[in-house]
A and B are shown apart, each in its own frame.
Chain A
Amino acid sequence: MREISAQQITDAVRRLCMEACYYLPQDVRDRIEACRRGEPFPIAGEILDKIIANYHIAEENDVPICQDTGMACVFLEIGQDLHIVGDITEAVNAGVRAGYTDGYLRKSVVSDPIERKNSGDNTPAMIYFDLVPGDRITITVAPKGFGSENMSQLKMLKPADGIQGVKDFVLKVAEDAGPNPCPPIIMGVGIGGTFDKAALMAKKALLRPLDEKNPDSFYADLEEELLKKVNALGIGPQGFGGKTFCLKININHMATHIAGLPVAVNVNCHVARHKTEVL
């Protein structure tokens, strides 16, 4: 059986935290720049220009694109035939601690939601484990800011609400969010499953590259239709009006119960950070 040490995971997480916060993924840049070219409203165009200038400054100076370097969401796909020597949860948290400290990233985590004392090192990470075939481990670090996280919503629709209910809910989330989540945004949508699975699907939908089409043609069409409708609201970048409110809507779906139609929408700002490494 293949073995790797917990220390290797710590080193990778440390690196990924910093790189994710400094360098915006290429697919997100491409999308922002394409929207800039298609933006007819002058003030919206100026804002998109500043957003583009900002991620270049961050990259050139190795500084965070946004000061809210988020909660560290860490997705682990662990091969069934891989043996990790050491405590994997502690290894991830050690990586976050090192990455946020050495990388001059903001520590934005409070240890208790009511008492609200800062944990001082951005731990604990939000860790998601998946077991997959093989003997590798895929680590994705997605620092999640809370300006957009706070604008996310989940609703347990009735089966009778159907597709129209889903569409209305996505539009409601966009309208409720308005200027708050630093638009242009990305919307991750999870449809089906249970209460918790819908939310997790929505979060994972935010990781799908923006230039990738949904493999299911029904949901690919739904993504396109919703994107057009959400942008037709005219909220625009930063809410000052314009075409570019949402860069992309990604939908994940799965089976659900005969009595239910859960829908979750996880909102991300234009600083859609995530970085992956395979060990």
Chain B
Amino acid sequence: MTVKITTPMTPEVARTLKAGDNVEITGVIYTSRDAAHKRFVEALDRGEELPADFRNAIIYFAGPAPAKPGAPIGSVGPTTSYRMDPYSPRMIREAGLTGMIGKGKRSDEVVEAMKECGAVYFGAIGGCAALLAKCVKKAEVIAYDDLGAEALRRLEVENLPVTVVIDSEGNNLYKLGREQYLDSLKK
């Protein structure tokens, strides 16, 4: 079964999603990764406004390939999320972020913030960048243009396929899926 989500995603909606759910996201999401996240928390430190309103928003950890003429964006798959672990708890608690899309493990600190505030960590298929780009209808750089692929982008997506990896209760598909598979071998 596939759950359809339209952004913005409130904590109440986030809390209905469970690890292992297949989700299709439609609406506005943002791409940013290492360098932009560093600037976000530096801005928070200085008490400045962030370059986008991340309240109830979803950030896709990704740096797209350049768009070919006529295409809204180049190939755009997820980058490894643990590199954003130092920043994500503050983005959730202070900026109001309710969703992250990436791939790979997250720290306990991130999961704690997710449970506390009602946020979800989605996995997109790493390396499926050409397929995922087809769901992007519009993309524009809205800040940090100097960062190139790492700039903050606003994307309009349609039915972007993701899977809930860690839900707002801290259930983790990396653990559950593996256990389920290994159990299936015993039967």
**Cα(A57)–Cα(B126), bound, Å:** 15
**Cα(A69)–Cα(B174), bound, Å:** 26
Neighbouring B residues of A116 by C-beta, 8 Å? 35
Q: How many residues of A contact B (CB 8 A)?
A: 49
The number of A-B residue pairs with CB atoms under 8 Å apart is: 153
Interface size class of chain B, counting residues whose CB lies under 8 Å from the partner chain: 35 or more
Given contacts A67-B62, A107-B149, A147-B79, contact A182 B177 (CB under 8 A): no
Given contacts A43-B177, A51-B127, contact A67 B65 (CB under 8 A): yes
User: Quick one: closest B residue to A271, CB to CB?
Assistant: B127
CB distance from A15 to the nearest CB of B (A): 17
Neighbouring B residues of A58 by C-beta, 8 Å? 75, 129-130
In contact, B68 and A104 (Cβ under 8 angstroms) = yes
Q: Report which of A53, A62, A67 forms a contact with B77, defined as CB distance below 8 A.
A: A67
Neighbouring A residues of B58 by C-beta, 8 Å? none
Neighbouring B residues of A181 by C-beta, 8 Å? 80, 104, 126
Q: Report which of A40, A150, A178, A241 forms a contact with B180, defined as CB distance below 8 A.
A: A241
Q: Which of A2-10, A199-207, A230-238, A246-254 contacts B (4 or more CB under 8 A)?
A: A230-238
**Cα(A220)–Cα(B63), bound, Å:** 38
User: A270 within 8 Å of B by Cβ?
Assistant: yes
Neighbouring A residues of B184 by C-beta, 8 Å? 40-41
CB distance from A167 to the nearest CB of B (A): 20
In contact, B74 and A106 (Cβ under 8 angstroms) = yes
Neighbouring B residues of A43 by C-beta, 8 Å? 177
**Cα(A243)–Cα(B177), bound, Å:** 11
In contact, A64 and B75 (Cβ under 8 angstroms) = yes
CB distance from B168 to the nearest CB of A (A): 19
Which residues of chain A have a CB within 8 Å of any CB of chain B? 40-41, 43-44, 47, 50-51, 53-55, 57-58, 61-69, 104-108, 116, 118, 120, 147, 150, 178-182, 233-236, 238-243, 269-271
Other A-B pairs, 15, CB within 8 Å; known A57-B131, A179-B123: A50-B161, A64-B65, A66-B75, A67-B65, A68-B77, A104-B65, A104-B74, A108-B149, A147-B104, A180-B103, A182-B126, A234-B178, A235-B178, A238-B123, A242-B177
